A = this chain, B = another copy of it.
Amino acid sequence: MPSSVLKPGATIGILGGGQLGRMLALAAAELGFRCHIYCPEGESPAFDVVAARTVASYDNQRALAAFAGSVDVITYEFENVPAETAAFLDEQARVLPNARALAASQDRLSEKRLMQELGIPVAPFAAIDRQGDLDVALARLGRPSILKTRRFGYDGKGQVAIREGDDAAAAFAAIAGKPAVLEGFVDFTREVSALVVRGRRGEVAVYDIAENAHRNHILATSTVPAAIRPETADEARAIAIRIAEALDYVGLLAVEMFVTESGGEERLLVNEIAPRVHNSGHWTQDGCLVSQFENHIRAIAGWPIGSTERHSDAVMINLIGFEADEWLPLAAEPGARLHLYGKSETRAGRKMGHVNRIYPKR
């Protein structure tokens, strides 16, 4: 057995204690692994399902070193792990996915430049470091455009639309003048995502393409199969594999794309990538034999990748904020499986759980 293969009983370290860390830990347990969650917040949902917990900040080197010494591999549930934290841990333990994937996804500009290098289409964009850049870029890309901070944006945070008549200076002030990217308007018909898993020996598999609908910039539903042409789905898979290979990626990678239509042709543009399990892959828990969570764990453990085949059609519905108060009727719905994250407090906009509705494959 190659020495990089973790044996059952080994411990997987996970940075972050939210629902993704929790579902990773549950999947790891099914394979006989123990998990150790590292998270700054004492009341983290993932703590309830693991053998070991560390509550400490991401710059606490003593706690990080102890954590690294107690685990056999380290992964993370969110891409905004500080680069210094990842670099520090990387000296003492294997961190997967690798630092390159983290760096590429933490910065919208690096991400877009990577896509360009790979010949993968993205929305027209320009780097914005100062007000002057924005004026020039707006003249080129036109309106509406979207100004997005390069770093730490998620669920619509750190972005502002600039429409006809809007004041560009006000928009730049709205993101506090941070380094940013201006994206030209994309008249897309659908948003889809491809989830690719790549193992330590370079083997890859891709789940069926999901079609995503957002509400208030937060994912509302993912539907599989997506209502796109088979050639478009094939192209989406190929793009995801190309990115995973370019990054020498190990684990589950999510690639969000826009689908545009013109003259009866569908085209794909990559919107963003996430070097982790992803909300648009939650349907795999009940639509496939091996979920995205299990396949991420398999990959980082050096195990063979599990089948990404789909046994059912699926619609994943996020339960945001007080929508999760409907857990009792949701639990009674036939053909649906309810997943709740064990969060102690319900807050508006907080992801509290999801439901997978399952249908026989068409």
Contact = CB atoms under 8 A, between A and B. Distances in A.
Interface in A22-53: 22, 25-26, 29-35, 47-51
Given A26-B29, A49-B50, 12 more contacts: A5-B328, A8-B324, A22-B29, A26-B49, A29-B49, A29-B342, A31-B339, A35-B48, A289-B337, A303-B328, A304-B332, A309-B334
B331 A303 contact: yes
A32 B341 contact: yes
Interface string A326-362: 0110011011111111111000000001000010100
Contacts of A26: 26, 29-30, 49
Contacts of A289: 286, 335-337, 358
A100 interface: no
A340 B32 contact: yes
Contact of A48 (B34, B344, B358): B34
Contacts of A324: 8
Size bin of chain A's contact surface = 35 or more
A1 interface: yes
Interface centre among A25, A51, A338 (most CB of B within 10 A): A338
A311 interface: yes
Contact of A331 (B48, B306, B360): B306
17 contacts: A1-B328, A8-B327, A8-B340, A26-B26, A26-B49, A29-B49, A32-B340, A32-B353, A48-B50, A289-B335, A289-B358, A298-B331, A303-B328, A303-B331, A304-B331, A306-B331, A309-B334
Interface of A: 1, 5, 8-9, 22, 25-26, 29-35, 47-51, 286, 289-290, 298, 303-304, 306-307, 309, 311-312, 324, 327-328, 331-332, 334-344, 353, 358, 360
Interface centre among A50, A327, A360 (most CB of B within 10 A): A327
Contacts of A50: 48-49
A334 B290 CA distance: 10
Contact of A307 (B298, B309, B335, B353): B335
B358 A9 contact: no
Given A48-B51, A332-B304, A33 B342 contact: yes
Given A48-B50, A50-B48, A340 B30 contact: yes
A344 B51 CA distance: 14
A342 B6 CA distance: 13
Kindly list the 5 A-B residue pairs having the minimum CB-CB distance in the complex, ordered from nearest: A32-B340, A304-B332, A48-B51, A32-B342, A8-B340
Contact of A358 (B1, B22, B311): B311
A211 B351 CA distance: 41
Contacts of A303: 328, 331
B311 A342 contact: no
Nearest to A334: B307
Contacts of A25: 49
